[in-house]
C-alpha cells in the first residue's frame, strides 16, 4: 500500500528524494490491528495547501473515508513539515502538531532527515526521538 501511494504521488508530479524503511507499529487509539509507517522527503513546487489537497485526494483514491477520528483506514498520508515553514490554519498546521510526540513518526523520519530541526522547538529529529525514548522515573 505504501509503495502504491508513493507511486501515486510521483504520478501527480511529486519528486521523491528519499524514503525510509517501512516499520510495523502498534495502533494509536482504538484498533485491533498493527500499522505500517514510513516517511518520505519530497520536492514539491506548489503550496503546502495544494500538497495537502493532493495527499487527501490520494487517500480517497485508495478508499479512505473521513468519518470518524481513529476510524479504520486503508491509508493515512500526513504532511509533517514543509521545510522551516510555520503555519497555523484551520485545515493545516505545520509542522504537524503531534510530530514531536510520536515515535512511529520520528523513527522513520530519523532515517531520512535526522538533522531536520523543528522550527518552534529548535530540536532535531534525533533529539526529539531521544527525548521520547529517555527512561522516566516512576513515582
* 12 noted as active-site residue: no
Which entry of 34, 60, 76, 131 is annotated as an active-site residue?
Answer: 76
Catalytic residue among 64, 91, 102, 131: 64
Q: Find cell 507499529 and name the residue.
A: 25
Please confirm, yes or no, whether 78 is among the known catalytic residues.
Answer: yes
Written as one string, the DSSP assignment of 58-72 is HHHHTT---SSTT--
Whole-angstrom distance, CA of residue 73 vs CA of residue 66: 8
Give per-residue burial for 30-60: e unless 16+ CB within 10 Å, then b: eeeeeeebbbbbeebeeebeebbebbeebbe
From the candidates 78, 102, 122, 136, give the one annotated as an active-site residue.
78
Q: What CA–CA distance (Å, rounded) separates 106 from 88?
A: 21
Q: Which of 73, 91, 117, 131 is catalytic?
A: 73
The 8-class DSSP code of residue 101 comes to G
| Catalytic positions, written as ranges | 64, 73, 76, 78
Amino acid at each position: 500500500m505504501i509503495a502504491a501511494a508513493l507511486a501515486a504521488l510521483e504520478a501527480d508530479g511529486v519528486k521523491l528524494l528519499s524514503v525510509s524503511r517501512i516499520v510495523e507499529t502498534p495502533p494509536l487509539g482504538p484498533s485491533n490491528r498493527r500499522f505500517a509507517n514510513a516517511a518520505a522527503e519530497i520536492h514539491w513546487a506548489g503550496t503546502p495547501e495544494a500538497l495537502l489537497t493532493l495527499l487527501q485526494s490520494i487517500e480517497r483514491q485508495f478508499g479512505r473515508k473521513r468519518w470518524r477520528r481513529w476510524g479504520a483506514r486503508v491509508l493515512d498520508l500526513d504532511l509533517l513539515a514543509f521545510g522551516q515553514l510555520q503555519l497555523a490554519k484551520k485545515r493545516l498546521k505545520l509542522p504537524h502538531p503531534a510530530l514531536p510526540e510520536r515515535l512511529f513518526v520520528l523513527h522513520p523520519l530519523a532515517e531520512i532527515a535526522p538533522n531536520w530541526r523543528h522550527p518552534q522547538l529548535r530540536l532535531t529529529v534525533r533529539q526529539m526521538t531521544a527525548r521520547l525514548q529517555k527512561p522516566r522515573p516512576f513515582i
